Structure 1
């Protein structure tokens, strides 16, 4: 894709003058330069064997809002309020090499693991999606822990169902399978932009409120991912207590239910539940038809 490196434009070029001797028109131009970038076809990312696509919905998605994107300007108090309203005051996460927005693999992994704190929720997903665990592998995994002095991972006070979720969490996110294979969580990349003339970034505002009711709140400007942007989530998974495909279905449902990124409690970071569901069905058919090459055909088809 022949597009500028957005990470450079946002994190380096935005405040190119260390003394902040810029005019508001410079900030306006830099804002436009960032937001006008269009997605030029698919990004050739190193996808894992198992993948699915999810499409953002209104109001969009926020990634990396906790990163600092501000420089104090004590020398120009008179213009500071005006600059504050026009500058992007919150951070955003861009891939260092490509400059494209991505969801880090660590973020994906952390979000998925956080769901396992709620065992009843995980059991409900398994039941609703007709996901059966491999009882024999569960017992082998449990025995392997006991034989290797890792009984501390086993909570013998839990019911059978809760113990299943407990051990499944450790297998996926910490220990790996009894064969020593660990699941890998890759960065999620933009795969496609539906509409918006190819644009995938936009302005948005958040208004912090203070303890003093007489103080006028100042809206903070930030960047978000627009709705109708398709992300591709990729993994390298291994059969264990659950087979790899069932893990994929579990991960997809968690992402649909919880969303990802910042401000999910007010609607950001959520996905279209219908979009991409055929990907999973096609993947399942290919898996049953030819276990060895199904994922290659699937990756070429989307």
Structure 2
């Protein structure tokens, strides 16, 4: 367990914006008992819901812009599949963490839960292997006849995933899997499993629930991939990959505990599409309001800066008029020359510019010829 000192605990009590930092680095209070893990996960979940969702909403919009830029770059070689999470998602359950087996994959910088491209590629590779060994009646080849090497499966699996020959790989796959990204921040939940046997296989009399994090269902996800430049018949590769993605994610699922129904997706229905459109409109409104707020804040800062400059400047409207009177009379130019050093000070930049603007006409030609006149 990672002990948190009293000082850090007090700071956490005031709030922690990074739920993933709290999960990995600031999980346990010093002297916690057996329930410390569940309590820590509840605090992580609450931190995510109360302080991180707003930030992650902008991350989702940024990710959408990134995928749009990739689409413009790769054009017909780029494709996405949009699905809705139908059951709880556990991904990377065994990731290295102070909290063992808590299970959730996220982007380390932003904390956005996502599905890495390597996980998608592994799932689809297995699905393509099953499909290649399926007979016409729906059954599979027996153990002796089960084919695992992609060059023996036929179809497009070797082109999509790359060569896995025992003698060594001859080429990489022609499809790049970018991963799965939530279109809006998914809700985090806490689930439990009750191990009925100890590590030695003996039945346990007193069950101890083991808690872990999960992504809750009903969030729309987008799965993105593209075909490498120069690959022949890119449309065929995209069609095959899109089909495998949809079938594997909807029928098998991804992540841990898929046999128990976790990690399943489904095709979006009309209500999902309507909700997504409403959410997109809401996101645009929020983004516009944020931009307007930022503009107002910037203008307020500019005005405050200008006010501070005026406050600390050596001149006022009255004293500046006296400066212009010196400029009008050549007999006073010696005194005006002495004033130039003060006028050039940084805090008087606005007055210096005003002086130059007012002495641009032909009546001031002789003044501008003076070597001490500000250039």
TM-score (normalizing by structure 1): 0.59
- 1:33 is aligned to 2:47: yes
Partner of 2:92: 64
1:223 is the counterpart of 2:213: yes
CA RMSD of aligned residues (A): 3.7
Deviation at 1:44, TM superposition (A): 1.8
Aligned to 1:40, what secondary structure does the other structure show?
A: helix
What is the distance in 2 between the residues matched to 1:64 and 1:153? 26
- Gaps (5+ residues) in structure 2? 1-15, 71-77, 137-148, 164-170, 274-375
Matched, 1:203 2:190: yes
Displacement of 1:182: 2.1
Paired residues, number:
214
1:246 aligns with 2:235: no
Structure 1 residue 116, shift from structure 2 partner: 1.9
**C-alpha displacement of 1:97:** 1.5
Q: Is the 8 A contact 2:127 2:244 kept in 1?
A: no
Q: Which moved more, 1:4-13 or 1:223-232?
A: 4-13
Q: Deviations over 1:58-98 (max 9, x none)?
A: 3x111111124446xxxxxxxxxxxxxxxx75242211111
Q: TM-score, normalised by structure 2?
A: 0.49
Residue in 1 that maps onto 2:22? 9
Higher relative contact order (CA 8 A, sep 6+): 1
Counterpart residue number, 1:127: none
The alpha carbon displacement at 1:121 in A equals 6.9
Distance change >3 Å, CA 170–CA 32, structure 1 → 2: same
Output one character per residue of 1:41-63: Cα deviation in whole Å (capped at 9) or x when no partner.
533223253112111113x1111
Q: Deviations over 1:124-160 (max 9, x none)?
A: 8xxxxxxxxxxxxxxxxxxxxxxxxxxx9754xxxxx
CA change 1:164–1:265 in 2 (3 A) is same
Query: Does 2:217 match 1:189?
Result: no
Instruction: Give, in angstroms, the shift of residue 34 of structure 1.
Output: 3.3
Bigger proportion of residues as helix = 2
Q: What is the CA distance between 1:239 and its match in structure 2?
A: 4.9
Cα distance between partner residues in 2 of 1:245 and 1:122: 22
Residue 53 in structure 1 maps to residue 67 in structure 2: no
In structure 1, runs of 5+ residues without a counterpart are: 72-87, 125-151, 156-162, 194-198, 280-302
Match of 2:116 among 94, 104, 124: 104
Q: CA deviation at 1:122?
A: 7.3
Asked if structure 2 preserves the Cα contact closer than 8 Å seen for 1:186 and 1:233, the reply is yes
Task: Report the equivalent of 1:160.
Answer: none
Aligned twin of 2:130? 118
